[in-house]
C-alpha cells in the first residue's frame, strides 16, 4: 500500500464513525411510475431517511456501531437550486461540522448543479472534515438504481480518517468539489474533472487514492448572509455573437459577467467590445472555457481576466462570492 493509499476495510474494524447525511433531493430521491423508466421521473420525492434505510451496506455499518444521522434540508430538482437553499445548506453543513462527535458529512444532491454547490461549499467553508456530495443518474424507483451504491461509497469516504474538504463521490470515483463537472446527460459515470482527473477511486469500500484531499481558505458563512445577492450572468461567445445581450444586462444592472469563450479563451470581437465597455463601467468580467477539458493559457496581452480551469458555471460562483465578500 502506498503512503496515500488507505484501506477502508480497516475502518470498519476500527472506531465506528458518526456521519450526518443532509438531503436536498435530486434524481437519487426521484421516482418514476415504472421501474424500467430511467428518464421520465420526478426528482426529489423520497425522504433522505428512507433512502438510507434502503441501503444494506449502511444497515451493516449501523450494526457495527456507526451513527448515521439524516436531515432533510431541501427536496428539489437541482436545476432549481438557488440562493436560499444554498444558504440554508451551507448553514446546516457548518452547524454539523462544528459538532465534535461528527466525523464527516454527506450531502445528497441532484447531478445537474452539483458542480456549483460543490464549488460554493468548498470556497465558503473549506472544511477540515470531509463533506461528500453524492447523487444518482437513475431514480430510486429504477430496477437497477445507482443511488444506493453511491450513498454507501459516500458514507464510507465521509468516515475515512484523514479525509477533508468538499469532494464528490459518484460511480466509484472521488472528485474535488471545485473541479468536478457533469459531462454526460445519461451515463452512470457522468462526471469528470478535465485534466485534473479524480482524487481517488473507491472500489469495494477501499480507497485507491491518486491525489491529496482539497484544502483552501474559507471565505466564511457570513458572505452568504446578504438577502439580495449580486446579479452575475453568463454569456456565450459563438459564431455570429454580438454585444446586445451584454448591453441589455448592463441596463438591467448586472454586476458580474462570465463569458463562455471559444478556443483558448477567445471572444467574438463584437461581444468582446461590449464586455470591455462593461468592464470599464465596473462590472466584474471573466473568461471561462465554453467546454472541454484544460485551462485557459494566458497570452500576456489579455484584456479580460480568465477563470483558469473553472467551468463557466463555477466561474460564475467565484465572481458571485467575490462580489459578496467585497460587500463585507
Ligand atoms: C437533479 O439535478 O436534481 C436532477 C437530475 C439528476 O439528479 O440527475
CATH node for 3-209: 3.40.50.1170
The DSSP code for 188 is: S
Rounded distance from Cα 1 to ligand 1 centre (Å): 36
The cell for 106 is 454527506
Question: pLDDT tens-digit profile of 234-268?
Answer: 999 999 999 999 999 999 999 999 999 999 999 99
Residues 141, 32: contact at Cβ < 8 Å? yes
Top mutation candidate among 23, 26, 117 for ligand 1, by most atoms within 8 Å of CB: 26
The answer to whether residue 217 is catalytic is no
Q: Is the CB of 26 under 6 A from ligand 1?
A: yes
Residues 261, 290: contact at Cβ < 8 Å? yes
- Distance CA(157)–CA(161), nearest Å, equals 9
The strand ranges marked E within 146-216 are 165-170, 173-176, 181-182, 191-192, 200-203, 206-209
Q: Is the CB of 93 under 6 A from ligand 1?
A: no
| Nearest atom within ligand 1 for CA of residue 27 | 7
> Can you name the CATH fold of 228-327?
Rossmann fold (3.40.50)
Q: Is the dihedral of CA 304, 279, 234, 84 positive or negative?
A: positive
Q: State pTM to two decimals.
A: 0.95
The cell for 33 is 411510475
- Catalytic residue, from 6, 24, 27, 108: name it: 27
Nearest Cα neighbor of 305 from 288, 293, 318 is 288
- Distance CA(58)–CA(274), nearest Å, equals 54
Place of cell 477540515: 128
Top mutation candidate among 112, 113, 184 for ligand 1, by most atoms within 8 Å of CB: 112
Q: Give the residue range(s) of CATH 3.40.50.1170 domains in the chain.
A: 3-209
Q: Give the residue range(s) of CATH 3.40.50.40 domains in the chain.
A: 228-327
Question: pLDDT tens-digit profile of 9-36?
Answer: 445 445 899 999 999 999 999 999 999 9
Residue 290: the pLDDT is 94
201: left (phi over 0), alpha (psi -120 to 50) or beta: beta
CB atoms within 10 A of CB 231: 15
b/e per residue 195-217 (b: at least 16 CB within 10 A) = ebebbbebeeebbbbebebbeee
Q: Which residues contact 308 (CB under 8 A, 6 or more apart)?
A: 295, 296
What are the backbone angles phi and psi of residue 239, rounded to the nearest 5°?
-55, 130
Task: Report the DSSP beta bridge partners of residue 234.
Answer: 258
The cell for 46 is 423520497
| Nearest atom within ligand 1 for CA of residue 76 | 3
- Distance CA(8)–CA(201), nearest Å, equals 12
Residues of the chain whose pLDDT is less than 70?
A: 1-14
Amino acid at each position: 500500500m502506498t503512503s496515500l493509499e488507505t484501506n477502508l476495510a480497516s475502518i470498519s474494524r476500527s472506531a465506528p464513525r458518526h456521519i450526518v447525511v443532509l438531503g436536498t433531493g435530486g434524481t437519487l430521491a426521484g421516482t418514476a411510475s415504472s421501474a424500467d423508466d430511467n428518464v421520465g421521473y420526478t426528482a426529489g420525492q423520497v425522504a433522505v431517511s428512507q433512502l438510507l434505510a434502503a441501503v444494506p451496506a449502511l444497515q451493516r455499518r449501523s450494526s457495527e456501531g456507526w451513527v448515521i444521522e439524516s436531515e432533510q434540508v431541501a427536496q428539489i430538482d437541482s436545476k432549481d437550486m438557488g440562493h436560499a437553499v444554498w444558504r440554508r445548506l451551507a448553514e446546516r453543513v457548518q452547524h454539523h461540522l462544528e459538532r465534535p462527535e461528527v466525523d464527516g458529512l454527506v450531502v445528497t444532491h441532484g447531478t445537474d448543479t452539483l458542480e456549483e454547490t460543490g464549488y460554493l461549499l468548498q470556497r465558503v467553508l473549506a472544511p477540515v472534515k470531509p463533506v461528500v456530495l453524492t447523487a444518482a443518474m437513475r431514480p430510486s424507483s429504477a430496477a437497477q438504481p445507482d443511488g444506493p451504491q453511491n450513498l454507501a461509497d459516500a458514507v464510507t469516504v465521509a468516515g475515512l480518517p484523514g479525509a477533508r474538504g468538499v469532494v464528490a463521490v459518484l460511480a466509484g470515483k472521488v472528485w474535488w468539489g471545485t473541479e468536478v463537472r457533469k459531462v454526460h446527460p445519461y451515463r452512470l459515470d457522468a462526471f469528470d474533472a478535465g485534466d485534473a482527473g479524480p482524487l481517488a477511486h473507491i472500489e469495494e469500500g477501499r480507497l485507491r487514492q491518486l491525489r491529496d484531499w482539497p484544502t483552501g481558505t474559507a471565505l466564511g458563512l457570513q458572505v452568504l448572509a446578504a438577502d439580495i445577492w449580486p446579479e452575475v450572468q453568463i454569456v456565450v461567445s459563438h459564431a455570429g455573437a454580438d454585444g446586445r445581450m451584454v448591453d441589455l444586462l448592463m441596463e438591467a444592472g448586472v454586476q458580474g459577467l462570465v463569458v463562455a469563450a471559444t478556443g483558448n479563451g477567445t471572444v467574438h470581437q463584437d461581444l468582446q467590445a461590449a464586455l470591455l465597455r462593461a468592464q470599464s463601467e465596473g462590472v466584474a468580467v471573466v473568461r471561462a472555457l465554453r467546454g472541454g477539458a484544460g485551462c485557459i493559457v494566458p497570452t500576456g496581452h489579455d484584456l479580460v481576466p480568465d477563470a483558469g480551469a473553472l467551468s463557466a458555471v463555477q466561474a460564475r460562483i467565484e465572481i458571485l462570492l467575490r462580489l459578496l465578500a467585497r460587500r463585507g
